[in-house]
Structure 1
Amino acid sequence: AASAPIAVSNISNLIALKIVGLSLNSYINMMFVPSMIGILTIGLLLYLYFKKDLPKKIPSVPVKWDNTFSRYVQTHPLDVKQQTENNDWKLFKMSFAIVILTRASFFALSPFGVPLELIGMVGAFLLILLRWYKTKTGLSDIVKKTPWHVLLFAFNMYVLVYGLKNVGLNDYLVSNLKPLIMDSPFNATMIMGLLLTILSNLFNNLPAVMIGTLSITEMGLDPHLVQIAYLANVIGSDIGALLTPVGTLATLIWMYILKKHSINISWGKYLRVTFLIIPIGLIVSLISLYFWTTWLLK
């Protein structure tokens, strides 16, 4: 959800940015405030939902040393070894500086026509080069640890959605939605946001954004209305997509990492939280987008 305010935070936000005529800076101008209102709403609701479960102090748990429980230490469930003293903090700071520089370059260089993917590739290459120089470690562990099955799932969803497009899904959406949204920014915001929520949870948010954006660009709408509808698409694909685990790649990877560390989050546990919280956060975000873009930015 927190990837919505800035376009470069999520690949689904970037997919059709140029198609609808938005730059990174204009995206932030229209999107930052309404999406932050939605994020704060979700954060507050999560806090209230889990308030009784949150410990005021992390309990000490026994750690096994030399086959005996000889002492108690503060631990985190994903890192019981507590080996932070072995971290190379100089390497960490240099890597973090490259990440910040790369992010800043997106905004500084994109107005001059430098492709975002080129900037990202240069940043990734610098990180890999720095790592190799400092640790003499190559790419093998990255390749091995990458959750390829999740990426394969996303590719399969692309194929499925393009198949639906080829058999007339886009034409159906254009013909049925155009009369409803062509003269109403409010309808465009709510309908496209809710539609992308449904499509994202059926197919995953990446192909859903493509379908939604292709649909609004084929409706012959006013350019400003196209941009509002696209931003509603983004809210639906970033926030609404969190209803089910298949809605975003981020959720799938998160559940994969937890499972690897023997922390089981079932679909039932996940849905009990999201079906209470996400719809409220989604509606608040979409209404905020409508007021921000049609009233305050006039």
Structure 2
Amino acid sequence: MLETLAVLALLLAVLGFAVARPRGLPEAVAAVPAAVAVVALGAVTPAAAWAEIRALLPVVAFLVAVLVLAHLCDAEGLFDATGAAMARAAGGSPQRLLVAVFVTASLVTAVLSLDATVVLLTPVVFATAAGAGVRPKPFVYACTHLANSASLWLPISNLTNLLALRASGLSFAQFAAVMALPWLVVIAVEYVVLRRFFAVDLALRAPRAARRAAPVSRRTVALVLATLAAFVLAAVLGLEPAWAAAGGAAVLAVRAMIRRRTGPAALVRAANLPFAVFVLALGVVVSAVVGGGLGDAVAAVLPHGTAFLPLLGTAALAAVLANLLNNLPAVLLLLPLVAPAGGAAAVLAVLVGVNVGPNLTYVGSLATLLWRRVLRGHDVEPGLGEFSRLGLVSVPGALVAGVAALSLALTVAGG
């Protein structure tokens, strides 16, 4: 019992450190000693810890490659050009700008991961709204909500998706086909909620003309599109998507350095290797928590079955755990429990919960914490009360609609 409490305390300490990040220290500063401690306590054997790290390595390698790829897209001006295109499409209308932001953020999240939306697209959206003379709040809130909920579609959209893909037994194409409808439905719910929630802000017409951006090289665009196509091809061939992401990032990196758009130091910073180490260490700590009794407690309340109501219960439990523990530990905890009994359906229900649920609280997702830091860099502090009220309105409806769409998609796909 004492060992279980000690391991749980270590997990909470790691998460608390990740939320606060005192003095800007990387999350790995707390996670690595915690991983060593759970091994020293005997909560997990060295062999089991190494097996957990090896299982996570391909997923983390892909995450690193995508972060570098997103940085290179930014360095080549793709995000700035996207901001200018959104402003032109809006034509001074905040409502049309919200539609443009929703489309852009949903696609960026899907193909370049939620980190690209939070770290790279959010500042562009903020600048686009401010430059057009409209209130930025509806648009930057759309970025953080869509970074989480619009990451449902592709395995490459979110680290949680990559973990779920491995547990589900589905191919890349099967995963994408089943999750396409939940992705669209959840985005639609988010749009309706944000449009009504920020109705006053969206009623003010922009007084300024749309800004222009420098043209983007067609060769750069072609290389990015080729890299994205390689993700799909690698999945079809049964290869790890990390190889495609790394190959595309390497080609773009050489080109960007030749053109002096970036440098080795910037590429290393973009890779965020300390965060990769944090994920691996966190996996070890969570495996100790699961083996220490929390897994049994969660398993006792897990719904069983693949009908709508059991799937909704699974998604709701996943959402609650995401807001208590953060979505990454929640998915690491739940997948080993639901996959053997519920198969792909239960795994994907967990995914709906851990991707949509974090919009309820700041601590639900690391992406949301990153979003807060981005806004603070623009001297904007999102209010906890407003964030929570928006989450209370959007999350329940998005969860129910997302699971209903998942249930329908599974039925069409034959279970």
Normalised TM-score (structure 1):
0.79
User: Please, which moves more after superposition, 241-250 or 168-177?
Assistant: 168-177
Which AA in structure 2 matches 1:206? L
Residue in 2 aligned with 1:78? none
Is the Cα–Cα contact under 8 Å of residues 157 and 203 in structure 1 kept in the other structure? no
Q: 1:151 to 1:215 in 2, by over 3 A?
A: same
- Partners of 2:354 and 2:232 lie apart in 1 by 23
Q: 1:297 to 1:196 in 2, by over 3 A?
A: same
User: Please, which moves more after superposition, 139-148 or 228-237?
Assistant: 139-148
Residue in 1 aligned with 2:238? 113
Which AA in structure 1 matches 2:253? I
Is the Cα–Cα contact under 8 Å of residues 232 and 289 in structure 1 kept in the other structure? yes
| 2:179 counterpart of 1:31 | yes
Q: 1:46 to 1:137 in 2, by over 3 A?
A: closer
Normalised TM-score (structure 2):
0.58
Instruction: Indicate the percent of aligned positions where both proteins have the same amino acid.
Output: 27
Residue in 1 aligned with 2:294? 169
- Partners of 2:292 and 2:323 lie apart in 1 by 21
- Partners of 1:150 and 1:54 lie apart in 2 by 37
Deviations 1:253-274 (A, max 9, x none): 2211111111221322211211
Of residues 230, 251, 263, the one that matches 1:126 is 251
Residue in 1 aligned with 2:57? none
Gaps of 5+ in 2: 1-148
Pairs within 5 Å for 1:127-146: 127-135=252-260, 137-143=262-268
Name the structure where helix makes up a greater proportion of residues: 2
- Partners of 2:159 and 2:323 lie apart in 1 by 17
Of residues 213, 222, 231, the one that matches 1:97 is 222
Of residues 232, 240, 253, the one that matches 2:357 is 240
Which AA in structure 2 matches 1:202? L
Q: 1:57 to 1:277 in 2, by over 3 A?
A: same
Q: 1:230 to 1:105 in 2, by over 3 A?
A: same
Of residues 399, 408, 411, the one that matches 1:282 is 399
Q: 1:259 to 1:152 in 2, by over 3 A?
A: farther
Is the Cα–Cα contact under 8 Å of residues 164 and 351 in structure 2 kept in the other structure? no
Q: 1:88 to 1:257 in 2, by over 3 A?
A: same
Residue in 2 aligned with 1:269? 386
Deviations 1:218-272 (A, max 9, x none): xx42xxx411111111111111121112222222222111111112213222112
| 2:252 counterpart of 1:252 | no
| 2:332 counterpart of 1:210 | yes
Residue in 2 aligned with 1:68? none
Work out which of the two has the higher radius of gyration on C-alpha atoms and give 1 or 2.
Answer: 1
- Partners of 1:244 and 1:149 lie apart in 2 by 24
Is the Cα–Cα contact under 8 Å of residues 185 and 228 in structure 1 kept in the other structure? no
Q: 1:151 to 1:54 in 2, by over 3 A?
A: farther
Deviations 1:95-122 (A, max 9, x none): 3333322221121222212211111111
- Partners of 2:273 and 2:169 lie apart in 1 by 33
- Partners of 1:59 and 1:127 lie apart in 2 by 38
Which AA in structure 2 matches 1:216? V
Is the Cα–Cα contact under 8 Å of residues 243 and 271 in structure 1 kept in the other structure? yes
Residue in 2 aligned with 1:71? none
Q: 1:258 to 1:154 in 2, by over 3 A?
A: farther
Is the Cα–Cα contact under 8 Å of residues 201 and 241 in structure 1 kept in the other structure? yes
Question: How many residues were matched structurally?
Answer: 267
Shift of 1:59: 3.4
Deviations 1:188-226 (A, max 9, x none): 311221111111112222221121111113xx42xxx41
- Partners of 2:411 and 2:346 lie apart in 1 by 12
Residue in 2 aligned with 1:291? 408
- Partners of 2:408 and 2:238 lie apart in 1 by 31
